[in-house]
Amino acid sequence: MLDTAKSKLVPGGSGASTGAPPGPPPHPDMVWIPGGTFEMGSNDHYPEERPLHRVAVDGFWIDRCPVTNQRFRRFVEATGHVTFAEIPPNPADYPGALPEMLYAGSLVFVKPAGPVDLGNFGNWWTFMRGADWRHPTGAQSSIGGRKRHPVVHVTFGDAEAFARWEGKELPTEAEWEFAARGGLEGVEYAWGNELAPRGRHRANTWQGEFPWQNLLDDRYEGTSPVDAFPANGYGVYDMIGNVWEWTTDWYAPGHEAEPVATCCIPHNPRGGGEAESYDPCQPAIRIPRKVLKGGSHLCAPNYCRRYRPAARFPEPVDTSTGHVGFRCVVRVEPGGSRQARESDPSAREGPTRPDGTDNPRSTDEGPRYSL
């Protein structure tokens, strides 16, 4: 249950504006998040979440749920968009790569038969030929019966292309975390201080010993419908677990410390620069990384305890996997006008290629990070 001695529900967060929405939702199934100041990050878990610090965000609209296969299919049918996972790599972009590895595909989780070395994530991740958003577990799979599941195998560029088509944008890390907290302060999870209050799971995560034993206490192996678990205090679903979600912030291995002067609390922070986001452990691979938020159905107590609003992880912009998706936002300028361009079907672009940046995708055969 919620530990009320250590938490409180404050609409809009600490010091927030609790005013009504500036008007009706700009698109169906969007939720108004009132602006406010909140404590972002955590000092109690992974180093990249530190330090705990205050930031302020303006009010914004956010998708009630992550983008589903059904929504993404409409986008693809309307625009002819081809996702990055569906495009065979250009050999000229990958000098030294083995020709037999230059095929279209994406990273798929394959559960091992028994305990494995957790230091080698190649024990459960496979770069699989033919895996993409239509074929989430490989070329012979499909999204039949999964129209309300989150779309996966999408790169940052794919997510941006979709957001532009809907007249929206992707959230910043601060916006995402503010919305995920649902107005709660001083708690670990988006619903309180217990992972499974009264024995009931509030998100699609891994129960058992990762990566080989999934007890299915939450009833799901793999992704789940985006509204399968209760909404948070703002009425937003699936902010925690199920799939990680892209944000626009370039990754840095920690937050900036809070300024001493209260006048200088960051307002609508947008993260660090692209140059800081490169992986220092792989200097030959110059692929910038964005911040992922929310954890996924693969996060487990024995391996990846990132099913919390403060958790964050770096993902190269060229990488797609079976446990990363996204949702969109619409920002509101002073006076109530929208910052994202209006959704005008006549203005929507035609076929797109989601390169995301000028950088080619990486040449290694598996994920760089053990999400």
- pLDDT tens, 46-69? 999 999 999 999 999 999 999 999
- pLDDT tens, 97-119? 788 888 999 999 999 999 999 99
Domain for residue 15, yes or no?
no
Phi/psi at 199 (nearest 5 deg)? 75, 10
The helix/strand/coil state of 158 is: helix
Q: Check whether the bond before 351 is cis (ω within 30° of 0).
A: no
The helix/strand/coil state of 315 is: strand
Domain for residue 140, yes or no?
yes
Of 31, 39, 50, 46, nearest to 13 by C-alpha is 39
pLDDT level of residue 264 (50, 70, 90 thresholds): confident
Helix ranges restricted to H, the chain? 69-79, 156-165, 173-181
Domain for residue 357, yes or no?
no
Domain for residue 255, yes or no?
yes
Domain for residue 359, yes or no?
no
Lowest model confidence (mean pLDDT) among 138-142, 263-267, 324-328:
263-267
CATH of the domain at 311: 3.90.1580.10
Exposure of 257 by Cβ count < 10 A (0-12 exposed, 13-18 middle, 19+ buried)? exposed
Q: Is the pLDDT of residue 342 over 60?
A: no
Mean pLDDT over 70-93 rounds to 93
- Six-digit token string for 52: 């705990």
Rounded CA separation 320/133 (Å): 9
Task: Give how many domains the chain has, as a whole number.
Answer: 1
Q: What is the pLDDT of residue 247?
A: 98
Mean pLDDT over 178-188 rounds to 96
Q: What is the DSSP letter of 129?
A: E
Let me know the angle formed at the C-alpha of 310 by 218 and 48, rounded to the nearest 5 degrees.
120
How much is the CA Rg of the chain, to the nearest whole Å? 20
Of 132, 179, 129, nearest to 155 by C-alpha is 132
Domain for residue 224, yes or no?
yes
Domain for residue 365, yes or no?
no
Q: What is the DSSP letter of 321?
A: B
Phi/psi at 78 (nearest 5 deg)? -80, -30
Q: What is the pLDDT of residue 282?
A: 84
Domain for residue 355, yes or no?
no
Q: What is the pLDDT of residue 2?
A: 37
For a pLDDT cut of 90, what percent of the chain falls above it? 75
Q: What is the pLDDT of residue 284?
A: 79
| Interacting residues of 123 by C-beta distance below 8 A, sequence separation 6+ | 112, 116, 117, 211
Q: What is the pLDDT of residue 322?
A: 98
Q: What is the pLDDT of residue 9?
A: 43
pTM here is 0.88
* Contact predicate 86/363, CB 8 Å: no
Q: What does pLDDT average to over the chain?
A: 87
Q: Is the pLDDT of residue 94 over 70?
A: no
The range of the structural domain enclosing residue 130 comes to 26-94+103-344
